[in-house]
Amino acid sequence: MSPYARATINLRVHPEQDAVEAQAALVAHLRAQRPFGIELEVSTGATGNGFSAATAGPGYEAARAAMVKAWGIEPVSAAGGGSIPLVNALSAAAPGAEILLVGATDGYANIHAPDERVLVDELERAVAFEAAFFGELAERWRG
């Protein structure tokens, strides 16, 4: 039995929470949880703040219409992800731009896990959605 253990922890933060503050809170919590007085060494990594998209613009209107075309039903909004630091940087560089990330997934996709998967019919619908989206967006752009 090894007398040592190592772990890597990835903490995702709420878009309105400062990532540095959240990291410090996690480290303080870990340090307070040392059973039997075990030693704890923490090496922190880079942080990135979360992002929350404004979803009321013409790009999102086009996306919702394209989803109906691809899936045949009205879409439902659900928040997810939100802590991709690149998106914050893009938003800061182009503050008026709508940002929409698209991926093919289902409830059992295990995104970013070793056994990640995508169903072929879901991928086909995602491709159909993207094609319909560009058509819908072009229509709104002309208007």
Question: Which has the closest alpha carbon to 15: 64, 60, 63, 54?
Answer: 54
Give the tens place of pLDDT for each residue, 1-48: 778 888 899 888 888 899 999 999 999 999 999 888 888 999 999 998
The number of distinct structural domains making up the chain is: 2
- Note the pLDDT of residue 82: 64
Q: Are residues 14 and 79 in the same domain?
A: no
Q: Are residues 79 and 119 in the same domain?
A: yes
End-to-end alpha-carbon separation of the chain, Å?
69
% helix / strand / coil in the chain, to the nearest 5? 45, 0, 55
Q: How far apart, in whole angstroms, are the C-alpha atoms of residue 79 and residue 138?
A: 26
- Note the pLDDT of residue 89: 85
Q: Are residues 39 and 84 in the same domain?
A: no
Give the residue numbers spanning the domain of 66: 58-142
Q: How far apart, in whole angstroms, are the C-alpha atoms of residue 41 and residue 129?
A: 47
pLDDT band for position 83 (cuts 50, 70, 90): low
